[in-house]
Amino acid sequence: MNNYRSKLNSMNLYHQCVFIAFSLVVFACGPTQSINPQQDQTTSLYEIDEENAVHRLSRGIKHQTVSLEDTAEINFEPYEEFISFLEENYPNFHQKTERKRIGEFSLLFKWEGSNPNLQPALLMGHYDVVPSSADTDSLWSYAPFGGEIREGFVWGRGALDDKSGIMSILEAVEYLSERDFQPERTFYIALHHDEEVGGVQGAQQVAAYLEEEGVELKFLVDEGLPIAEEILEGVEVPLAMIGVAEKGSVNIELTYRQDGGHSSMPPRSTVIGTLSRAVNRIERRPMKAHYSGLILETLEPLIPYMSFTQRLAFNNTWLFRGLIKRKLSRNIATNAALRTTAAKTIFEAGFKENVLPIEGRVIINFRVHPNDTIEDVRRYVRNRIDNEDINIRVLERARNPSPVSNTHAAPYQMLKRTIEESFDQALISPSLFVAASDSRHFHNLTSNIYRFRPIRATHDDRPRVHGIDERISIDNYMEMIQFQIRLIKNSAGKME
């Protein structure tokens, strides 16, 4: 447990996971039009055994399927136990599907459809979780791996990310197969085991396997954006955000060398000064904001709920584009949706008070907007720092942003309809996922990739993901199961 803090830190740096984007659409606003629609009235069509479903989730959370960067340090016993737990608790699911283990611990289930002419769909998620640390365990209201059912919630690691996600899928298939529902379309269900550390053994191998098999998917749904509540002050309509694209990521290293020497006769600028100036130039003028395409589609359903002056601005972008960009850039969440961001995460130089540093380095983590590329980022850095003596290096594991899924495609429309049926008061927007998900390994298999979980998220919930007191409400979990059943039914046949 002593190592947990450093492990946790290194994982946070890597940060594969989801819900940074909880706060996507909050921009400071004046008084808004007072619209208070009635409480969301979800139609409960399917009779789910709530007690059993909730207990299964609780027990699922108790399995400590913790991912660590250093695989040698992972205890895989709980992984094996979790796999057996699923087998025992979802018997119909296991009977109706064919299971393949990939990368040792990732599971790919195939639920064969009756019509081989329909392209298969893939529902996926991950069952690994980030560790909890000995330092913070005591701050939890209930033990992080206790799976406690209290106060109307199920508590513990994975309650939001992503055990509720995958187990709601399993509940749905169990429910349907128990009632002899036979889909026309083949469904694959993938449960990955290393999303939190990059998905190289899991999702990447599963995608490679499907590709080898010649599978072409109609669509896939992975974890991703939630249903955000409290989007605008005074507006109680939740906004369901479907992640139709995700950002790329590239680490750029700046290094600068200088003759060393004694600190009593320093040059005008040391390594530290020169690199600081470069960083400052990047901070002063970030990469270009893209107020076009996806961001417009994301904001569009919100416009009727904005204040008069905001509506005026958003309806007359030909005149107010600059103002809107400035406003959106001020909020860290909307800023991240608008442009490629630059986080200066590592700065190293100097080792002794009276010795001039010979070399310094800075690492900047850029999250690349879909309108930019890695090459754009490199060029921007070169031009912006305007110093040929600083060496610029693009580090390994850089990835370009994902393509943007087409919102006119039949699977998007089906998903939208499913959300409308399940959350009848919710607004729905295609959105940019600013973090990373396992879905990025599947671009060769389909162009219809959606990152979405019907988790109701308020501002209060944001720090719970990878943080303290992660929990999901029982009501919301039941909604998730209802949603997954509808999703399968709505996509089980021909869609267009």
Which residue, 189 or 324, is less far from Zn ion as judged by CB?
A: 189
Spatial separation of the C-alpha atoms in residues 18 and 92, rounded to whole Å = 30
Report the nearest approach of Zn ion to the CB of residue 245 (Å): 17
User: Could you tell me the smallest distance in angstroms from the CB atom of residue 223 to Zn ion?
Assistant: 5
**Nearer to Zn ion among residue 325 and residue 453 (C-beta):** 453
Q: How many Cα atoms sit within 13 Å of 191 on the Cβ side?
A: 25
Candidates 20, 10, 4, 3; CA nearest to 131 is 4
Give the nearest distance from C-beta 284 to Zn ion in angstroms: 34
Whether 117 contacts 213, CB under 8 Å:
no
Catalytic site includes residue 81: no
Q: What single string gives the DSSP state of each residue in 157-177? A: TTTTTTHHHHHHHHHHHHHHH
Output the six-digit token pair for 286: 């970030």
**What DSSP line would sit under 69-110, residue for residue?**
SSGGG---HHHHHHHHHHHHH-HHHHHHSEEEEETTTEEEEE
Which residue, 162 or 372, has its beta carbon nearer to Zn ion? 162
- Judge whether 195 counts as a catalytic residue: yes
Q: Contact residues for Zn ion (CB under 5 A)?
A: 17-18, 161-162, 223
Radius of gyration of the chain (CA): 24
CB 132 within 8 A of CB 118: no
- Which residue number, 195 or 479, has a Cβ lying nearer to Zn ion? 195
The Cα 203–Cα 196 span in angstroms is 11
CB of 68 to Zn ion, least distance (A): 15
Instruction: For Zn ion, give the closer residue by CB, 161 or 372.
Output: 161
Class of residue 291 by CB neighbours under 10 A (exposed 0-12, middle 13-18, buried 19+): middle
What is the nearest approach in angstroms of Zn ion to the Cβ of residue 161?
A: 4
Q: How far apart are CA 401 and CA 368, in angstroms?
A: 6
CB-neighbour burial class of residue 365 (10 A; exposed 0-12, middle 13-18, buried 19+): middle
How near is the Cβ of 304 to Zn ion at its closest, in Å?
A: 33
Residue tagged active-site, from 195, 196, 372, 479: 195
Residue number, 278 or 435, with CB nearest to Zn ion: 435
The residues annotated as belonging to the active site are 128, 195
